[in-house]
Structure 1
Amino acid sequence: MCGRYSLFTEQDNQEILKIVQELDRKYPGNSMRTGEIYPTNLAPVLLAEEEQIIPELSSWGFPHFRGSGVIINARAETAEEKRMFRDSLLFRRLAVPTTGFYEWDREKKKHRFLLPGESTLYLAGFYKLVKGERRYVILTTAANDSIANIHDRMPVILPRKRIRDWIFDTDRALGYLKEKMPALEDRKAE
């Protein structure tokens, strides 16, 4: 499961800083969240506009079908079968830029996971429009060895070089959901 992630905008992470600055220029006075991102927050995502990948703002979580709360994750193994997720997975995929995601161990200690040697981590997701507002969920899969001792699920990780295929190529995107995720680095979070 992925219930929180980080989006830090330090000067040394030019990739994230550029996305945030572009959205601030595009939407002055927006309520975009940075730092620790929680469900329902408005946050940056990367999605298709014609043949380009552009940053946009979106709220994290589909409205829950029972009427209260939000659905923030979808299982990669079953998303294509679920009516709530199928069209979004097939036609509205996006990448969620982060500086890591959080999980908690049995002692309630917080861990932040990143790709080794990278300051930016992209997560696979998809979106739909709800009453004119773009809402997204993050896909999860079975945890690999680098996170399994903390949690049995993890987000679907998108290496930078796979973002374009994920967003534009449905066959490759669906195939990628069956691949083994890259090993992550566990950084104890404060």
Structure 2
Amino acid sequence: MCGQFYIMLHGKKKTIFPDMPYKIMVYDQNQFSYQKANWGFKINKRPIINARSETLLTKPTFIGLKHCLIMANGYYEWDEAKMKTDIHLNDHSYLYMAGLYRYQKDRWEYTIITTKANPSVDQIHDRMPLILTKDEAECWVRGEGTEQLLEVIPPAMQFNQEMSQSHLDL
């Protein structure tokens, strides 16, 4: 997954980039809440913005971390021709992206879990966020059924290609 997603605020897209703060949904003390956190685990000065679902349970970096949800209306990928693609649900409703979070060096950080792209996205990129239904998302953030949820095939997505800045400069 490429390193940008967006949320619709007052009819406009607000793009979130790595290391930007964003409110993630967490489950603590038997209640859902939001926690402001920066996107990416700082390791060796480089943020780890994604975690592969296939190796999540075996990589020491991710073992024992708390689950979170990153709610967005869509995310971006770039194809081989450098065309920016806005990927979203058909009705532009929220995507419930599975993630992990931690407290490290005086700040909260999160990473987005990725999985193999479903057929609606694999023509653009071979990976995509692990997108859950609302019921699956509630189980995920509570830490229930982790192994089964890591196998979920995300729903079909829609996409629109946009001109990237490099194409506009030609």
Q: What CA distance in whole angstroms lies between the structure 1 residues aligned with 2:10 and 2:85?
A: 19
TM-score (normalised: structure 2):
0.89
Counterpart position of 2:117: 143
* Paired residue type of 2:83: K
Provide the secondary structure at the position in 1 that maps to 2:86: strand
Q: Deviations for 1:154-174, whole angstroms, at most 9, x for unmatched residues?
A: 00002222221011143x122
1:82-121 alignment runs, 5 A limit = 82-88=59-65, 92-121=66-95
* Paired residue type of 1:104: W
- CA shift at 1:49, angstroms? 2.2
Q: Does the alignment pair 1:48 with 2:5?
A: no
Provide the secondary structure at the position in 2 that maps to 1:81: coil
Q: What CA distance in whole angstroms lies between the structure 1 residues aligned with 2:47 and 2:162?
A: 25
Q: What CA distance in whole angstroms lies between the structure 2 residues aligned with 1:125 and 1:60?
A: 10
The answer (yes or no) to whether the contact 2:96–2:131 under 8 Å persists in 1 is: yes
Q: Does the alignment pair 1:174 with 2:153?
A: no
- Give the percent of matched residue pairs that are identical in Structure 1 and Structure 2: 32
The answer (yes or no) to whether the contact 2:25–2:32 under 8 Å persists in 1 is: yes
- CA shift at 1:80, angstroms? 0.7
Residue 79 of structure 1, aligned match among 35, 53, 56: 56
Structure 1 segments, 4+ long, off by >3 Å, are none
TM-score (normalised: structure 1):
0.80
User: RMSD over aligned Cα, in angstroms?
Assistant: 1.6
**Where does structure 1 lack aligned partners over 5 or more consecutive residues?**
13-33
Residue 165 of structure 1, aligned match among 93, 114, 139: 139
Q: What CA distance in whole angstroms lies between the structure 2 residues aligned with 1:133 and 1:68?
A: 15
- CA shift at 1:132, angstroms? 2.7
Q: Deviations for 1:1-49, whole angstroms, at most 9, x for unmatched residues?
A: 241101221259xxxxxxxxxxxxxxxxxxxxx8111100001100012
Bigger strand fraction: 2
The answer (yes or no) to whether the contact 1:167–1:173 under 8 Å persists in 2 is: no
Q: What CA distance in whole angstroms lies between the structure 2 residues aligned with 1:107 and 1:114?
A: 20
**Where does structure 2 lack aligned partners over 5 or more consecutive residues?**
164-170
Q: Deviations for 1:94-113, whole angstroms, at most 9, x for unmatched residues?
A: 00011101001111111111
- CA shift at 1:86, angstroms? 1.2
Bigger helix fraction: 1
* Paired residue type of 1:7: I
Counterpart position of 1:7: 7
The answer (yes or no) to whether the contact 1:2–1:155 under 8 Å persists in 2 is: no
Q: What CA distance in whole angstroms lies between the structure 1 residues aligned with 2:80 and 2:149?
A: 30
